[in-house]
Structure 1
Amino acid sequence: MIQLFQTFKKIGWFIRTYRKQYIIALSVLLVSYVFALIPPWMIGNLTDQISSDRIELRGLLTQLGLLLATLVLSYIGNYIWSYYLFMGSDRIARNTRRRLMTKFLRQSPIFYENNTTGSLMGKSTNDVNAVSDFAGFGFMSLIDATMFPLVILLIMATTISLRMTLLAVIPMPLLIIFTKKFEDKITLYYRQSQEAFDSLNDKVLENVSGVRVVRAYGQENYEIAQFKALADNNYNKNILFQTIIAYFPVLSRLIPGVSFIIALLVGAHLISLGELSLGKFISFTIYLDMLVWPMFAFGEFITVSEQASTAMSRIQELFDYKEEIPIEDAAPEYPGRGDLSFRHFSFSYPNSTDPVLHDITFTLPHGKTLGIVGKIGSGKTSLVRQLMHLYPIDPGTLCLGDRPIEDYNVQSVRRNIGYVPQQHVLFSKSIDENIRLGSQEEVSHDRLLEVLKQADFIKDLVQLPHGLDTMTGEKGIALSGGQKQRISIARALLGEPEILILDDSLSAVDATTEANILASIQQYRQGKTNLITAHRLSAIAHADLILVLEDGRIIQQGTHNQLFNTPGWYRDQFLHQQLEGGQDHDEL
C-alpha cells in the first residue's frame, strides 16, 4: 500500500492541475450514490405496503414514478462524473506523453545508449496507459470500494438489522487478506511482462528496419525463431500476471455469495420470529447485491494501482534522468558568428576509457571551409559532432567566437548548425515535408526549389511519381542512397545555417553531382562556415584548411596545395585516388 501512496504522490501534479474536473467528478459521484441508494429502500417499503394491502393504485403509481425518476437521475449523474473523471485520465495520458517526448528530444546520445527504442516505446504506450487507467478507472474504483460500501453498510445496519449486517460482512475481510498476500507478486509480474514487451518491441524494430540485410544473408528463419522465443517469453510473463489478477474477479463474486447465504439463513430466521419484515429483507438483499461491485472494484483497484505504481516508476526513471548537457535558458545566445577554435581538445565517449580525440588544436576563421580526412575510424565524425555539444567536454577546450561552447545556450548553438550525418535520417513523409524540417519558419515553394537546385536534386524531381509530394517511405526506403543524401543536404541548406557540417555526405553521389553540390556551396555560402568530412579528397580540396586525422590525432594540416607538396598520407592518398579516378591535379 506504500507504493499506492507513492503513485498518488507522483501524479499529484496532475490532480492539482485538473482539480476542478476531479472535484466536479467526485461531487457528482457522491450525489449519484445517494440516488442509487434510494431505490432499494423504496422497493422494500413498497413491498411491505403491498403485502399488507396498505397502498392504493394512485399511491403505487406515484411511488413507481419517483422510483423511475430516481433511477434516471442516478444514470444522469453517472454520465456526468464519468465524463469529467475520464476526461481527466485522458489528459494525464496526453500530458505525460508530451512530457516524455520533450524529455526524449532534450537528451544526448548517452541516454539512447542506455535506453533501447523498444523500452522507450513501451513506457510511452503501455506504461502511460496504466497510469491513465489509475487516474480514471482506478480513482473511481477506489471511491466505489471504500465510500460506497461504508454508506451501504451504515444504511443496512441502522435501517434494517445490525445483527444481520455484522454476520453478512464476516467473509469480506478475506479479500483484504488475499490482496495483501499477492500485491508484491502483482508488481513483480507486471514489471516482468512490460520488460518482455520492451524486448519484443526492440526485435520488431530491428527486423523491420533491417529487413534488407536479413534477406540478403538469408537469415529469415533465424530471425523468426528469435522473434518466436521473445513472443513466447512475453506470452508466458503475461500469463503469470493474468493468473494472479484472475483471482480477484472470482473472490469478488465468491465472498458476496457467502454473504448472501448467511443473509438468507439469518433473514429467514428473523422473519419467522417477526423481527424482520419481508420488505426490509428484500431491501437488505438488494443492498447486499450492491456490495458485489465494491468487492470487485476493490480487486480492480488493487490490480490497477499496482500496475500504475510499477508503470509510474518506469516512467519516473526517465523524468529523473539528468541531462548530460543541461539546457540553460538564461545562458547567452550564440550569435552564429566568430572563429571556431579547438584548444588542446581531447575526448572520450562516456562508456569508453579510450580517447577518440587527442590534443586537437586548430582555429578556423569565421566564413571559411574546413576539410577533414583520414582513415576509417580516425575520429572525423567524433570531431565535427563536438560542435553540437552532445557530450560533456573539458571546459574551455572548444570555443565559438570569444566564448567556450558550454557558456552558450545549447539550443541556440544547434539552431545555427545545419548537420548532414553519415546515416541519412528521413521520416516517413513526403520529400517536401522532409526538407521543410530544416527550417523553423514558413518557407516558400521558390526557396524550396532553390535549395533543391543547390543540392543538385532538381533533375530527380521529374523522375519521381509525385514530385515533391512523393512519399519517402520508412527511413527513405523508396529512394536511392544518393537521393537520400541530397535531400538531407537540401534540408540542412534550407535554414541558411551559419555553420554547415557535411559528415561524409557525398559518398553516394557520382563525381559530377559532387562537383555541382560543392560549387553551389562555395557560391551560396560565402561568408559562412563549412565543415566537410570525406574519404574522396576531391570533396575537400577547395577547403581553406584541411586536417588529416589518424587515431584521433592531427598528423597534417594545411591547404590542398601545401599538403600535396608535402610527403605524407594526404599526398599518397591523393595520388592513389587520382590514378583510380583518372583526374588530373590541375583540375582541382
Structure 2
Amino acid sequence: MTFGEKKILKIVFFDRLHIRFLILFLSLAASIIGLAVPYYQKIFSTDLDNRSLIICIGLALFYLILNQMTLFIGQSESIQAQKKISETLYKHNLRLKPLTLQKKTVGEVVSLYSTDVPSLTVWLEQSLPYGLTTLFPLILTPAFLYHFYHLPISFSLGLVLSLLLLNGLMAFRQSIFFFRFKMLAADRMGLVNEWIQNIRGLKVLNWVEGFENKIIKKRREETVNRIHMLTNGQVMNSISSSVVFWLNLAMLGYFIWSYEGNLSKADIIALLWVTTVFLSRPLRQLPWFFTFLFDAWTSFKRIAQFLNLTNVHEQVAAHEKTIPEAILEVKNLSLSIDGNELLHNIDLTIKPKELIALIGPVGSGKSLLIRSLINETPFQADRFFKEKTSYLPQEHFIMSASLRDNMNFFYQSPIEHDDKIMHHLGQAQFSFELDRVQQGLETVIGERGLNLSGGQKQRVSLARQLMEPESLLVLDDPLSAVDISTERKLIQEFREICNKGSSILLTTQRFSALPECDRILFMNNGRIEYDGPAREFLSNPRYDSFLRGLI
C-alpha cells in the first residue's frame, strides 16, 4: 500500500475512530430493532395485546430514528474528512516543484478538489452508513426467517447473493460512467482554463473558433456519457423498485409449495413486514451503495496517485561557502532529467554589489540554471551556498485587485505604505501618467493583469520585488517588454541597488544592456562558456555572431 493510500484510509476510516464505531453500533442496533418489530407485530396480531402494539410502534419509530442518526453522523463525518483531505492535498501541492507537476494540467488538479474529494468521502457520507444499514438487514434476515419459520438458510442466502450479484454488476457499469464523467469534466476544465488565460492571444491569432470547438467537442462527449449514465441509473432504479415484488413472489412460492407447516394470518403479516417494509429500503439502496462504493474507489486511486507524487530533491555534498564574501557559491552543478544531462559542471560565484547578465542562445540552459539557483530542480552539486534570494519569473503573477493590493500582495491593504509603493513603482519606471493609470493605486487590475499591457505587468512585478530586496535578486528576462529608454533607466536603478549592497543576476536577450553589467555569463549547451568582465566579452571575436544575432 502506497503512502497516499495509507494517508487517505487513515483520514476516512481511522480518524475519530470512536465515531466510526458509533456508526457501526447504530446500524447494527437499527437492524436488530427492525427485525424485532415483526416479532411483536405477530404477538399483537395473535393476542390483540395493547402492550405489544405500543412496543411494536415504539420499535418502528426507534428503528427510523436510528437510521436517520446513522446517516446524519455519516454526513457530518464526511464534511470533516473533506476538510482534512483538502488540506492534505493543498499542503502537498505547495510542496511539489514545477518539474514534478509538469504532467498535471490545472483542470486535473482542480478536479481533485471539486470532484474527487466529495466523491471519495461518500464512503463516510453514504457507503458506510448505507452499507451497514443495508448489509446488516440482508445478513440478519435469513437467520430470523430460519429461526421463526424454518426457512432454509440456503434458500434465503441464495436470494441475497443473487441480489448482491445483480446489483453489483449494475453498479459497476454505473461507476464506469461516473469515472468517465470525472475525467471528461477535468479535461474540459483544463481546456476552459487555458481558453480564459489565453483569450487575448487567441483573438489576435484568430484561433478562438478552433479552440472553442475543442471545448464543445469535449462537452458533447460529456453529454453522451451523461445520457448513458442517466439511462443506466433509471434501469437500476426500475430493477431495485421491482425487487420487492419478486422477493415476495419467491417467498410466497416457497411457503405455498415447499413449506410443511401452517401459516397463520399473524405469520403472513409478520413476513410481509420483513419483505415489504424492513427490506424495501435496503433493497432500494443496494445498487447505489455499490455504485458509490466503486465511484469512491476511483477517486481514492486518483487522489492517492497525486499524494504519491514526490519531488526529486537536489543532492549537495557541502553547503558551506569557501569564499568569505560570497553570497552565492556553486561548485560543479549538474542537472539531468529523464536521462538527459541539461546542465554540465556549472561553477559560479557571486559577491555583493555585482550586476551580472546571464545570456546565451535559446535552449542553452539559462532558465534551468535560474530555476536551479532557486532550488526548483533536482540538481547535483559538490557545493551549493546561497544567501536569501528574491526571484522575478517571466510569468508575472497579478491579482484581480487594486494596484496597491498587488504591490502589498495583500487584499484590502492599508494606505500607510503608499509612499514606499510609489517610490518602488518609480524605480521600476511605472508612471501613472505615462502608463495611463488614472485612479492611481486605487486602479483595479483585472484577473491575471487583464487591464495592463505586458510591459506594465512586468514593471509592477519588478516593483513588488524591489520593495524588500534580498542579498541576491534573480531576474528572469526583466527587460523583454520595455522600450530602449525604459531599459536604460531600469539598468541605472539596478546599478543603484547593487551599490547599496545587493547583487543582481538577470537573464536578457538585449545587447544594449550588456555594457552596463559588471560580468557576463555566456551559456551554451548547458555550460557556462564565458564568465568574466563585460568589456572583454563584447570585444571577443568568438562571440561576434551571437552578438550580431542579439542586435
Is the deviation greater in 235-244 or in 566-575?
566-575
- Superposition deviation, residue 316 in structure 1: 1.5
- What one-letter code is carried by the residue in structure 2 that aligns with 1:548? F
- Cα distance in 2 for partners of 1:347, 1:383 equals 9
Is the aligned partner of 1:174 residue 2:162? yes
- Cα distance in 2 for partners of 1:39, 1:191 equals 41
Equivalent in the alignment of 1:581: none
- Superposition deviation, residue 518 in structure 1: 3.9
- What one-letter code is carried by the residue in structure 2 that aligns with 1:286? W
How many residue pairs are counted as aligned between the two chains?
A: 542
Within the candidate set 340, 349, 352, 1:363 is matched to: 349
* SS of corresponding position for 1:22: helix
Equivalent in the alignment of 1:201: 189
- Cα distance in 1 for partners of 2:394, 2:165 equals 60
Alpha-carbon deviations, 1:299-329, whole Å to 9, x = none? Answer: 222211211222211221122223112799x
Equivalent in the alignment of 1:282: 269
Segments of structure 1 that go 5 or more residues without pairing to the other structure are: 402-412, 578-588
2:343–2:526 contact (8 Å) kept in structure 1: yes
- What one-letter code is carried by the residue in structure 2 that aligns with 1:308? A
- Cα distance in 2 for partners of 1:95, 1:326 equals 30
- Superposition deviation, residue 10 in structure 1: 5.2
- Superposition deviation, residue 258 in structure 1: 0.9
- Cα distance in 2 for partners of 1:548, 1:576 equals 13
- Cα distance in 2 for partners of 1:303, 1:553 equals 56
- What one-letter code is carried by the residue in structure 2 that aligns with 1:425? F
Is the aligned partner of 1:97 residue 2:90? no
- Cα distance in 2 for partners of 1:435, 1:333 equals 35
Within the candidate set 11, 20, 23, 2:21 is matched to: 23
Equivalent in the alignment of 1:584: none
Alignment of 1:57-68 (within 5 A): 59=50
Alpha-carbon deviations, 1:183-202, whole Å to 9, x = none? Answer: 76566555444333333222
Is the deviation greater in 517-526 or in 143-152?
517-526
* SS of corresponding position for 1:363: strand
Is the aligned partner of 1:479 residue 2:452? yes
- Superposition deviation, residue 123 in structure 1: 2.9
Within the candidate set 391, 394, 399, 1:419 is matched to: 391
Q: For the structure 1 residues 488 and 20, does the alpha-carbon distance in structure 2 shift closer, same or farther, using more than 3 Å as the test?
A: farther
- What one-letter code is carried by the residue in structure 2 that aligns with 1:306? F
- Cα distance in 1 for partners of 2:368, 2:7 equals 42
* Identity among equivalent pairs (%): 21
Is the aligned partner of 1:260 residue 2:248? yes
Q: For the structure 1 residues 486 and 169, does the alpha-carbon distance in structure 2 shift closer, same or farther, using more than 3 Å as the test?
A: same
TM-score (norm 1): 0.78
Within the candidate set 470, 475, 486, 1:502 is matched to: 475
- Superposition deviation, residue 544 in structure 1: 2.5
- What one-letter code is carried by the residue in structure 2 that aligns with 1:400? F
Is the deviation greater in 279-288 or in 550-559?
550-559
- Superposition deviation, residue 573 in structure 1: 4.1
Q: For the structure 1 residues 332 and 293, does the alpha-carbon distance in structure 2 shift closer, same or farther, using more than 3 Å as the test?
A: farther
Q: For the structure 1 residues 46 and 93, does the alpha-carbon distance in structure 2 shift closer, same or farther, using more than 3 Å as the test?
A: same
- Cα distance in 1 for partners of 2:71, 2:125 equals 9
- Superposition deviation, residue 143 in structure 1: 0.4
Is the aligned partner of 1:528 residue 2:502? yes
- Cα distance in 2 for partners of 1:268, 1:575 equals 98
- Cα distance in 1 for partners of 2:258, 2:43 equals 17
* SS of corresponding position for 1:20: helix
TM-score (norm 2): 0.82
Alpha-carbon deviations, 1:511-570, whole Å to 9, x = none? Answer: 444444444444345222211112224445433222233444445443344444544547
Is the aligned partner of 1:400 residue 2:371? no
- Cα distance in 2 for partners of 1:31, 1:228 equals 51
- Cα distance in 2 for partners of 1:308, 1:489 equals 46
Equivalent in the alignment of 1:11: 9
1:371–1:543 contact (8 Å) kept in structure 2: yes
* SS of corresponding position for 1:425: coil
Equivalent in the alignment of 1:372: 358
Alignment of 1:37-48 (within 5 A): 37-48=35-46
Equivalent in the alignment of 1:213: 201
- Cα distance in 2 for partners of 1:547, 1:173 equals 74
- What one-letter code is carried by the residue in structure 2 that aligns with 1:284? L
Is the aligned partner of 1:111 residue 2:83? no
Q: For the structure 1 residues 502 and 8, does the alpha-carbon distance in structure 2 shift closer, same or farther, using more than 3 Å as the test?
A: closer
RMSD: 4.2
- What one-letter code is carried by the residue in structure 2 that aligns with 1:530? I
- Cα distance in 2 for partners of 1:226, 1:164 equals 60
Alpha-carbon deviations, 1:245-267, whole Å to 9, x = none? Answer: 65543333333211112345666
* SS of corresponding position for 1:506: coil
- What one-letter code is carried by the residue in structure 1 that aligns with 2:532? G
Segments of structure 2 that go 5 or more residues without pairing to the other structure are: none
Alignment of 1:228-377 (within 5 A): 228-239=216-227, 247-264=235-252, 275-289=262-276, 290-325=278-313, 338-348=326-336, 350-351=337-338, 353=340, 355-377=341-363
Q: For the structure 1 residues 495 and 16, does the alpha-carbon distance in structure 2 shift closer, same or farther, using more than 3 Å as the test?
A: farther
